[in-house]
Structure 1
């Protein structure tokens, strides 16, 4: 899930991988180019980057505004989106080297921009991966978009506390 930070989980045969301290797949902290993944590719970083270039605050430069500006021909917004996609592809490749999933599902509000994001993310993923992994790994966009992470957290909670379901 890409938003203020980057979150994730790994599901194998219908079961969530928790890890020893229940912190498996804290993907936002994965080192990418010597920096935490989420400090390079979260939506909050996209907003801060565009605000620094164009003026204003990150709160004013929401993902929606950035994508609207890019669609209207704003090259600075388009370049910021392309940079984010490049880093997302690189981070996804790193995760796939470790986890080797069949499918990577991308969620978060910004992922509603699938038509804009799919191709550059897939291209960057393939560039930073190897054919064996890239050719066998699908990248999908969560049908629940921004609610995907919260719904996943709820399912995990209810699985751990069935008496509350």
Structure 2
């Protein structure tokens, strides 16, 4: 049984663990992304070295925020300076591989999450899948025959940046959790900082008309983006992830209805919606699967 270090680098925390080639975790933990003056590569190396003292590692799989050039260098092409100062341009894969002398793969976090859901989650067995993650922003990824479609500049699937109706707004301005909270807060004469998405759904369950309208607005706008995915990619499954998608019993019917309005039946008949099931493990499992593909390890 091979063991692999799997690491998920987010703006707040680095989640990590040790997993087998079947995707079974042997251990999991987390730590703050910015602990003092420690750089992200140094933090990753410290995690891996500590893990290597307990497990005989066969490789290291990393998913991270930012645009990633996968391959030998595992380069962070771009990451926002506010959250990740100095991270853009970091050849994270090369640094870790040369230090640890092990196979390394670095992938974008949303891409990895999509691949994880295809391998072990809501899209398991699907020949094609598009995953959208709905949070403060929107992210997306298309997976075809178990392979991520990266695009010419490694930014394919960025559905949040779709331009709407020739306006200055983009999709994530109106179809993110942030947008829903903003609308609910305005209607209640509150600051968005005083609200959470969970509160908006709680209000809606109590019959609050303004909260219901904010949720309907989220579903209507997000449905426009999903309709574009149906028309352009015709995937077998669209996987909906992100914290707000835990409200599947509310959002599922609204999104289904919106797609019925916007996409002709012949184009949508073989595309179904599914809600992500892997949670915080999705990115780590997807990065592991990509590493196993890279190293030609047979997986089930």
Q: What TM-score, normalized to structure 1?
A: 0.88
1:31 alignment partner in structure 2 = 163
Write the mapping of 1:77-92 to structure 2, written as runs, cut at 5 A. Answer: 77-92=211-226
Higher strand share: 2
Gaps of 5+ in 1: none
Gaps of 5+ in 2: 1-132, 296-300
Deviation track 1:139-160 (CA, whole Å, cap 9, x = no partner) reads 1110134x37644774587469
- Matched residues in 2 for 1:50 and 1:149: separation? 30
Partner Cα separation in structure 2 for residue 20 and residue 69 of structure 1: 44
Contact preservation (8 Å) 2:240, 2:275: yes
Change (3 A) 1:74 1:110: same
Residues 7 and 111 of structure 1: CA distance in aligned 2, closer, same or farther (over 3 Å): same
The answer on whether the counterparts of 2:234 and 2:268 sit within 8 Å (CA) in structure 1 is no
Q: Once the two structures are superposed, what CA deviation does each residue of 1:26-81 show, in whole Å capped at 9, x if it has no partner?
A: 11011233331111100011111111111222222211000001001111000110
Residues 15, 33 of structure 1: alpha-carbon distance in 2 compared, 3 angstrom cutoff? same
What CA distance in whole angstroms lies between the structure 1 residues aligned with 2:154 and 2:178? 25
- Which is helix-richer, 1 or 2? 1
> Are the structure 2 counterparts of residues 48 and 149 from structure 1 closer, same or farther at C-alpha, using a change threshold of 3 Å?
farther
Alignment correspondent of 1:47: 181
Query: Which residue in the other structure is 2:138 paired with?
Result: 6
Q: Helix, strand or coil: the match of 1:55?
A: coil
Equivalent residue in structure 2 for 1:115, among 249, 253, 260: 249
Report if the CA contact (8 A) 2:216-2:254 is conserved. Answer: yes
**Which residue of 270, 277, 289 maps to 1:143?**
277
CA deviation string 1:73-102 (max 9, x = no partner): 111000110111111111100111111111
Give the secondary structure class of the aligned counterpart of 2:138.
coil
Q: Aligned partners of 1:134, 1:73: CA distance in 2, in Å? A: 32
Cα distance, 1:61–1:161 mapped onto 2, change above 3 Å:
farther
Identify the residue that residue 208 of structure 2 maps to in structure 1.
Answer: 74
Provide the rounded CA distance (Å) in 1 between the counterparts of 2:209 and 2:135.
22
Structure 2 length as normaliser, TM-score? Answer: 0.50
Contact 1:3 1:108 in 2 (8 A): yes
What is the 5 A alignment of 1:122-133? 122-133=256-267
RMSD: 2.1
CA contact (8 A) 1:32 1:91 kept: no
Structure 1 contact 102–138 (Cα < 8 Å) conserved? yes
Question: Cα gap change, 1:148/1:109 in structure 2, threshold over 3 Å: closer, same or farther?
Answer: farther
